Structure 1
Amino acid sequence: MSETPNLDRTDRRILEALQRDARLPMRELASIAGAAPSTCSERVRRLESRGVITGFHTAVDLGALGRSVEAMVFTQVRPLSRDLIDQFHSDALAMPEVMAVFVLAGGDDFLLHVGVRDVAALHSFLVDNLSSRREVVQFRSSIVYGHGRKEALEDLTESSR
């Protein structure tokens, strides 16, 4: 979204609760938000249609999926053009090892969040999937030892008041 959405207290309560648990039953969500279930349901639909809520996600244990090694791979591509950026972005997302792609400004053009079985699989990914690509002129990787994620983002418009 390009502009800050106009959210009232009920919308903010709904968003915070859904970020913590997207599987909340509507009655429980309504109780948290201080609204009737039908009102709450309509507000959730409206937040989705406005693009504030973009989806509902499940958190998984990567180790349980055989991806116990995570890495961040900083990548430079050339010749830099919108078409090449769009194509590499699409191609990277299609790689099974890649979990997220960030397009960057500065020295690196992309940051790939990769999850693989082990260090040997990471090496294979780097050699087979990146260094073999003509447009990739440089990459460097950092293994992730751990990371955290906020359960719920704050509404900056509310916190700045």
Structure 2
Amino acid sequence: MELPPVDRTILVALQQNSRITNRELASRVGLAESTTHERVRRLVDAGVVTRFTADLDPGALGRPMQALIAVQLRPQSAEVVTRFLDAVVGDPCVLDATVLSGETDVQIRVAVASSEALRRFAWQKVTSVPSVRSIQTHIVYEHRRGPGLAETGD
């Protein structure tokens, strides 16, 4: 979807702070408040903005350790992947899960309180799903977010 530059500027501001006031947003993009409000509403209605959220620091919430768990499933099918995701994504330590191509079928990013909590999740939750063939766990040393989709223009 091709967006005008002003909408991209709005999206950049919303990615930086989804709680920005409409007044401040209008000032930043150089439009009237009513016009800015309408543009944001259209971006939401079009499905460009899917939700407004708070970015939380897992460490500040007692979960300083993050890990990526690469999961291989067998047999490979959409139904198996869906059942696996349904079994694990609801766990509070799961930050996100991504379905991939290649050797790894699903990658789960988790935030946990300790290595023991990570072991418990991996062994008791992930490997208890019958379709799991293997897992490989990687400790995250550092996590940074990119600028976001709105800034790239691609």
Give yes or no for the alignment of 1:13 onto 2:15: no
State the Cα RMSD in Å: 1.2
Indicate if the aligned counterparts of 2:84 and 2:129 stay in contact, CA closer than 8 A: no
Q: How many residues align?
A: 153
**Aligned-partner SS, 1:48:** helix
Unaligned stretches of 5+ in structure 2? none
CA displacement, residues 95-154 of structure 1 (integer Å, 9 cap, x when unaligned) = 222110000000010000011110011111111112222110100000001111124432
Q: 1:123 aligns with which of 119, 122, 130?
A: 119
**Aligned-partner SS, 1:94:** coil
Structure 1 segment 12-161 matched on structure 2, within 5 A: 12-153=8-149, 154-157=151-154
Normalization by structure 1: what TM-score?
0.90
Q: Distance in 2 between matches of 1:148 and 1:64?
A: 16
CA displacement, residues 41-96 of structure 1 (integer Å, 9 cap, x when unaligned) = 00001001111111111111111211111100000111111111112122221122
Q: Distance in 2 between matches of 1:68 and 1:40?
A: 38
Indicate if the aligned counterparts of 1:98 and 1:113 stay in contact, CA closer than 8 A: yes
Specify the code of the residue in structure 1 equivalent to 2:34.
S
**Aligned-partner SS, 1:72:** strand
Identity %: 39
Offset of residue 20 of structure 1: 1.1
Indicate if the aligned counterparts of 2:98 and 2:107 stay in contact, CA closer than 8 A: yes
Q: Distance in 2 between matches of 1:127 and 1:137?
A: 13
Indicate if the aligned counterparts of 1:13 and 1:33 stay in contact, CA closer than 8 A: yes
Unaligned stretches of 5+ in structure 1? none
Normalization by structure 2: what TM-score?
0.94
Indicate if the aligned counterparts of 1:12 and 1:155 stay in contact, CA closer than 8 A: no
Q: Distance in 1 between matches of 2:83 and 2:30?
A: 46
**Aligned-partner SS, 1:12:** helix
Q: Distance in 2 between matches of 1:15 and 1:67?
A: 30
